[in-house]
């Protein structure tokens, strides 16, 4: 049983502080860079061992955890035997350090070292390769930047890093997608429901030439890859991570959906949870026990452990499906029941109902002069191709924005699948959902459900080309990516 109490956690950060100079405020300010190294690691998936990719940071821990006042001062070493490049998702570094292939820096060759240095943004963020096959290979890790309030709060911090895993190689997975959908031979778009969970029952209809009622536009596609396992901190429910917690204590769950192609619902079970931030950006707290999180997004959830104690599984349910994963919070001596990796009931399907309840803690100031751009999200399962404004990356027409000036993007999803859209270099605000103006969350990744429209607003940042793409990796890999050119 692994347990990280708040005390361990503080002494851990003090150990780090001892090796670096303290500022007059008492906060650590690193002088020697912190090392991150990409490489392979072995994980255990349902009794089978698997070699996957990862990013090891200080203390042999995956990823990076920074205390208040610490700079992002990193020496990245490529320990893989192939080229890679790492993007700091949620951070706004100088464009040069954004970690996107050739925009503007080239990939790091094997054993190449590159330095990064910038002021980090606080919150729950993450880092990952910006190459689809490596993202499918789990080359990702947490990037947590704590605030002074985090350290002062009497609560334990636990990261829930969600991933989807397959024993197939990334290449096989991508080929499988393209073949499976091509083999169905449907002429109409988005009729792949037959092969997916939830719609398997009507295979007997035959007559693929004329779509049945179930395969018309009303059917939305979810989960276009069936993974072999769903992971929290690299483990399945077979052998979940168990954290010892205090009776009557509080826990901050930093949830990161690093899945390639899976939306999850976080189910806090018996515990009431307060959603405090999304994508690292504070919101007016929202109470619930079930919260959707799309690929690329993060949730900061605070839960209170009952005074009577016990064992409390925190689950991550695969959208629209019975599979699930999770970790367990347990007070000393509590009996921990084993939970199957699949439940009798299917999880719900993500829509914009949670997004519509979120209110930013620091919304954008009103701006008179706004440039409005319509962005069409398109694509279909057969052929398996996804686009932005009708173009498939590397073919693209950059979207123009002006530095220091307000832009609004009307994201119109013309397709039968939802898309988590991520903009680099900016923290936008969700300002309209299905025609309803809202003072919504600030964030960097917004989920646009099938056939819905969501508008985001932001002030143009550094004069540069910034990536804008879907964070569903097979969608991104088959074209759903473009650039926002800030001039």
> Given the rule CB under 6 A, which residues bind ligand C2O?
87, 89, 128, 130, 296, 422, 424, 467, 469, 471
Residue 262 Cβ, how far from ligand C2O at the closest point, in Å?
15
Residue 89 Cβ, how far from ligand C2O at the closest point, in Å?
4
Report what 470 binds from ligand C2O, Cu ion, none; CB cut-off 5-8 Å by kind: Cu ion
CA angle 414, 322, 355 (to 5 degrees): 45
Task: Name the residue nearer to Cu ion (CB basis): 86 or 470.
Answer: 470
Task: Name the residue nearer to ligand C2O (CB basis): 314 or 467.
Answer: 467
The order of strands in the sheet holding 86-89 is 64-66, 140-145, 123-129, 86-89
Structural contact between residues 323 and 292, judged by C-beta atoms closer than 8 angstroms: no
Report what 472 binds from ligand C2O, Cu ion, none; CB cut-off 5-8 Å by kind: Cu ion
When asked if residue 6 is in the footprint of Cu ion (CB under 5 A), the reply is no
Report what 296 binds from Cu ion, ligand C2O, none; CB cut-off 5-8 Å by kind: ligand C2O
Residue 419 Cβ, how far from Cu ion at the closest point, in Å?
3
Task: Name the residue nearer to Cu ion (CB basis): 326 or 416.
Answer: 416
Phi, then psi, of 481 in degrees rounded to 5 = -155, 145
Cα–Cα distance measured from residue 431 to residue 363, given in angstroms and rounded to the nearest whole number:
10
Figure out which of the listed residues 254, 318, 443, 472 binds Cu ion, where binding follows CB under 5 A. 472
Query: H or E segment at 376?
Result: strand 370-380
Cis peptide leading into residue 394 (ω within 30°): yes
Task: Name the residue nearer to Cu ion (CB basis): 288 or 385.
Answer: 385
Residue 108 Cβ, how far from ligand C2O at the closest point, in Å?
17
Figure out which of the listed residues 475, 477, 478, 481 binds Cu ion, where binding follows CB under 5 A. 475
Report what 125 binds from ligand C2O, Cu ion, none; CB cut-off 5-8 Å by kind: none
Cα–Cα distance measured from residue 5 to residue 305, given in angstroms and rounded to the nearest whole number:
14
When asked if residue 87 is in the footprint of Cu ion (CB under 5 A), the reply is no
Residue 295 Cβ, how far from ligand C2O at the closest point, in Å?
8
Report what 128 binds from Cu ion, ligand C2O, none; CB cut-off 5-8 Å by kind: ligand C2O
* Residue closest to ligand C2O, measured at CB: 89
The gap between the terminal CA atoms of the chain, to the nearest Å, is 53
Integer angstrom CA distances of residue 124 from 211, 267, 274:
44, 19, 15
Report what 324 binds from Cu ion, ligand C2O, none; CB cut-off 5-8 Å by kind: none
Q: Please give the structure tokens belonging to residue 154.
A: 């009497």
- For 337-343, the CB contacts below 8 A with 24+ separation are 337/311, 338/237, 339/237, 339/240, 339/313, 339/315, 340/237, 341/46, 341/229, 341/230, 341/236, 341/237, 341/238, 343/317
Non-local (6+) Cβ contacts of 107 within 8 A are 83, 84, 85, 101, 131
Burial of 372 (0-12, 13-18, 19+ CB in 10 A): exposed
Residue 65 Cβ, how far from ligand C2O at the closest point, in Å?
19
Residue 471 Cβ, how far from ligand C2O at the closest point, in Å?
6
The order of strands in the sheet holding 48-56 is 48-56, 34-45, 72-78, 113-118
Task: Name the residue nearer to ligand C2O (CB basis): 265 or 393.
Answer: 393
Report what 419 binds from ligand C2O, Cu ion, none; CB cut-off 5-8 Å by kind: Cu ion
Furthest C-alpha separation in the chain: 75
Which among 254, 259, 257 is positioned nearest to 280, based on CA atoms?
A: 254
Residue 477 Cβ, how far from ligand C2O at the closest point, in Å?
12
Phi, then psi, of 391 in degrees rounded to 5 = -115, 145
DSSP 241-296: -EEE--TT-EEEEEEEE--SS--EEEE-TTS-EEEEEETTEEEEEEEESEEEE-TT
Window 410 to 449, contacts with Cu ion (CB under 5 A): 419
What is the size of the binding site for Cu ion (CB under 5 A)? Answer: 4
Cα–Cα distance measured from residue 472 to residue 174, given in angstroms and rounded to the nearest whole number:
12
Beta bridge partners of 421: 446, 470
Point out which span in 23-31, 103-111, 362-370, 474-482 binds Cu ion (CB under 5 A): 474-482
Task: Name the residue nearer to ligand C2O (CB basis): 330 or 467.
Answer: 467
Task: Name the residue nearer to ligand C2O (CB basis): 334 or 467.
Answer: 467
Residue 332 Cβ, how far from ligand C2O at the closest point, in Å?
38
Cα–Cα distance measured from residue 126 to residue 334, given in angstroms and rounded to the nearest whole number:
32
**413: helix, coil or strand?**
strand
Residue 472 Cβ, how far from Cu ion at the closest point, in Å?
4
Report what 467 binds from Cu ion, ligand C2O, none; CB cut-off 5-8 Å by kind: ligand C2O
Report what 443 binds from Cu ion, ligand C2O, none; CB cut-off 5-8 Å by kind: none
When asked if residue 469 is in the footprint of Cu ion (CB under 5 A), the reply is no
Positions touching Cu ion (CB under 5 A) are 419, 470, 472, 475
């Amino acid at each position: 049983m692994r347990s990280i109490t708040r005390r361990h956690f503080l002494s851990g950060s003090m150990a780090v502080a001892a090796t670096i100079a303290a500022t007059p405020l008492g906060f650590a300010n690193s002088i020697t860079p912190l090392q991150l190294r990409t490489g392979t690691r072995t994980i255990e998936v349902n009794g089978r061992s698997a070699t996957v990719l990862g990013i090891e940071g200080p203390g042999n821990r995956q990823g990076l955890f920074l205390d208040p006042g610490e700079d992002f001062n990193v020496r990245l070493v490529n320990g893989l035997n192939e080229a890679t490049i790492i993007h700091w998702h949620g951070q706004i570094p100088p464009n040069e350090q954004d970690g996107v292939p050739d925009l503007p820096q080239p990939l790091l060759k094997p054993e190449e070292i590159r330095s990064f240095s910038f002021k980090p943004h606080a919150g729950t963020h993450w880092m990952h390769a910006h190459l689809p096959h490596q993202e499918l290979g789990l080359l990702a890790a947490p990037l947590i930047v704590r605030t002074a309030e985090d350290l002062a709060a009497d609560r334990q911090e636990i990261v829930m890093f969600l991933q989807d895993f397959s024993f197939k190689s990334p290449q096989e997975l991508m080929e499988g997608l393209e073949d499976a959908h091509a083999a169905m031979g449907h002429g109409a778009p988005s009729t792949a429901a037959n092969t997916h969970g939830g719609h398997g029952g009507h295979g007997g209809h035959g007559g693929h030439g004329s779509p049945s009622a179930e395969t018309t536009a009303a059917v939305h596609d979810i989960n276009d890859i069936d993974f072999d396992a769903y992971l929290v901190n690299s483990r399945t429910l077979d052998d979940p991570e168990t954290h010892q917690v205090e009776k009557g204590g509080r826990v901050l769950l930093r949830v990161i959906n690093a899945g390639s192609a899976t939306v999850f619902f976080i189910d806090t079970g018996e515990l009431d949870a307060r959603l405090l931030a999304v994508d690292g950006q504070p919101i007016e707290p929202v109470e619930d026990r079930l919260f959707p999180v799309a690929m690329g997004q993060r949730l900061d959830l605070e839960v209170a452990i009952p005074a009577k104690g016990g064992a409390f599984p925190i689950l991550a349910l695969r959208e629209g499906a019975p599979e699930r994963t999770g970790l367990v919070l347990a007070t000393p001596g509590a009996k921990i029941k084993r939970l199957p990796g699949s439940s009798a009931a299917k999880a719900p399907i993500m829509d914009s109902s949670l997004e519509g309840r979120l209110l930013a803690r620091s919304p954008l100031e009103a701006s008179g002069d706004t440039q409005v751009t319509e962005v069409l999200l398109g694509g279909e399962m057969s052929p398996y191709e996804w686009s932005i404004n009708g173009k498939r990356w590397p073919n693209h027409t950059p979207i123009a924005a002006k530095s220091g000036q307000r832009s609004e993007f009307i994201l119109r999803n013309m397709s039968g699948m939802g898309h988590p859209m991520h903009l680099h270099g900016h923290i936008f605000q969700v300002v309209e959902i299905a025609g309803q103006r809202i003072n919504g969350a600030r964030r960097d990744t917004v989920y646009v459900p099938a056939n819905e429209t969501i508008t985001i607003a932001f002030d143009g940042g550094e004069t540069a080309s910034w990536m804008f793409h879907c964070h569903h990796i097979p969608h991104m890999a088959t074209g759903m990516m473009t650039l926002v050119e800030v001039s």
